[in-house]
Structure 1
Amino acid sequence: MRRILFLLLIGLAGTATLVWLGVWQLQRLAWKQDMLARIDSRIAAAPVELPDDPTPETAGFLPVRVTGEILDGEILVLASMKQVGPGYRVIAPLRVGGRTVLIDRGFTTTEFEDALRSTGSFEVTGNLHWPDEVDGFTPDPDEAAGLWFARDVPSIAAALGTEPVMIIAATPTDPTILPLPVDSSGIPNDHLQYAITWFLLAAVWVVMTYFFARRLRASDPKGQDT
């Protein structure tokens, strides 16, 4: 009997823990949905002038409109597009008044890797963004070839001699480049799947506890202390 009671106690504790994890993921889902709604609202807002000292905390996804000069020199960041294939994001220095920032001009295919792209004066509308794309598996950039494997804003800015500020262009700047405006679709939101997983595991735990409790009871029909 003690073994059955101990098993039921473990079953109850395990089920409670798994259900709590599922509820926690539902709470995280609500938080993430609210965050994505706020990001979408900010992305769609009217563009403003480039702030003096933007940071990811104060100006992430902020819409801006600037008139500046795209300078010579660029960095290609390895990328791909669905139904298109491999290619690159084209990152270049953009002089705005007395300062220079980065501009992500968009996506170009490998066919135009060595194309001579337009530079000079442009009016650009886009959003400020500091992509979080670097992890422990990201290869080091091939700086000699100007090829990078992630949009690491501080490092690219240092290589091109700009402020660590990037505008993701929403307007075209070259016939060979397709603008890729920012949106919230790239921000992972898997909390519902996680919640369902935890709740399913809780149901499995209950079934397993019931099964093993029946087996123990069948092996000790008189309730003897084993």
Structure 2
Amino acid sequence: MRRVVVPLVLGIAGFAILVSLGFWQLRRLEWKEAMVAEIARGIDADPVPLPAGVDPSMKYLPVTMTGTTTGDEILVLSGTRESGGGYNVVSGFVTDDGRRIMVDRGFVSQDARRAPRPPVRLRVNGNLHWPDEKGSSTPAPNLAEGVWFARDVPAMAAQLKTDPVLVVASAVGGDPQGVAPIPISVAGIPNSHLSYAVQWFLLAVVWAGMTAGLIWRITRRPV
């Protein structure tokens, strides 16, 4: 009997730890779902005029504004399920009160990449955004072609000579110039806590099986 005490204690302790990690991930899942629901409500709220002071704490805030595009733009490599590969058009935008910001106007196909998009007056409803898309492996923008591989708000603002403020359009009044808005949604917010919980619970089952197998082998050995 004494031969199985240590592996049994270790087996029970390991099983308990793995199961507790699984339940911790389930609690994280509940927290994440509540957070995503709150973000969704914020995204879909009634838009407000663009605040005088804007900072990243206002991410997803719905805003409305009128102004004119500058004619300067950045094309960010993108794609949609319906249209395949293409680009998001990020335009310089001067509001009616003289502020220079950026508007992600939405998607154009590969064929429309070089279509003329001169300055145009627009009414834009959308959401403030600071995308977290640029990683260590993201290529540098191809400035000669005006093609970027991630939306990097400070870098794009420096290129377009605007304030580091990006509004992602959800609806555009005026001539869209062939650009289809892609509203912000919560679909892109990662939530893998359920899969993590399942992994911990499966590891707990495997640990329990291995412990049982070890104890069985120990008890089969001659004393």
Q: Which TM class, normalised by the smaller chain length?
A: over 0.9
Deviation at 1:98, TM superposition (A): 2.0
**What's the secondary structure of 1:196's corresponding residue?**
helix
Per-residue CA deviation, residues 123-157 of structure 1 (Å, 9 max, x unaligned), is 11111111111111111111222111001111111
Structure 2 spans left out of the alignment, 5+ residues: none
Deviation at 1:13, TM superposition (A): 2.1
Answer whether contact 1:128 1:168 (CA < 8 A) is retained: yes
Q: Which has the higher strand share?
A: 2
Q: Which residue of 2 is the match for residue 89 of structure 1?
A: 88
**What's the secondary structure of 2:141's corresponding residue?**
coil
Over 3 Å counting, the alpha-carbon distance change for 1:171 and 1:33 in structure 2 is: same
1:143-154 alignment runs, 5 A limit: 143-154=143-154
**What's the secondary structure of 1:193's corresponding residue?**
helix
Residues 7-16 or 186-195, more deviating: 7-16
**What's the secondary structure of 1:168's corresponding residue?**
strand
Deviation at 1:56, TM superposition (A): 1.7
Deviation at 1:111, TM superposition (A): 0.7
Per-residue CA deviation, residues 5-57 of structure 1 (Å, 9 max, x unaligned), is 22112212221221121111111111111111111111111110001121121
Root-mean-square deviation (Å): 1.3
When normalised by structure 2's length, the TM-score is 0.94
Q: Which residue of 2 is the match for residue 192 of structure 1?
A: 194
Q: Which residue of 2 is the match for residue 45 of structure 1?
A: 45
Q: Which residue of 1 is the match for residue 211 of structure 2?
A: 209
Q: Which residue of 1 is the match for residue 131 of structure 2?
A: 131
Task: Quote the Cα distance in structure 2 between the aligned partners of 1:129 and 1:203.
Answer: 43
Structure 1 spans left out of the alignment, 5+ residues: none
Paired residues, number:
220
2:79 aligned with 1:80: yes
**What's the secondary structure of 1:130's corresponding residue?**
coil
Residues 8-17 or 145-154, more deviating: 8-17
Deviation at 1:204, TM superposition (A): 1.2
Deviation at 1:90, TM superposition (A): 0.4
Identity of aligned residues (%): 45
Over 3 Å counting, the alpha-carbon distance change for 1:156 and 1:2 in structure 2 is: farther
Per-residue CA deviation, residues 176-211 of structure 1 (Å, 9 max, x unaligned), is 211000011110111111111111111111111101
Answer whether contact 1:117 1:174 (CA < 8 A) is retained: no
When normalised by structure 1's length, the TM-score is 0.93
Q: Which residue of 2 is the match for residue 68 of structure 1?
A: 67
Task: Quote the Cα distance in structure 1 between the aligned partners of 2:105 and 2:2.
Answer: 69
Task: Quote the Cα distance in structure 1 between the aligned partners of 2:137 and 2:221.
Answer: 53
Answer whether contact 1:118 1:174 (CA < 8 A) is retained: no
Q: Which residue of 1 is the match for residue 180 of structure 2?
A: 178
Task: Quote the Cα distance in structure 2 between the aligned partners of 1:160 and 1:175.
Answer: 19
Q: Which amino acid aligns with 2:65?
A: V
1:4-43 alignment runs, 5 A limit: 4-43=4-43
Answer whether contact 1:46 1:63 (CA < 8 A) is retained: yes
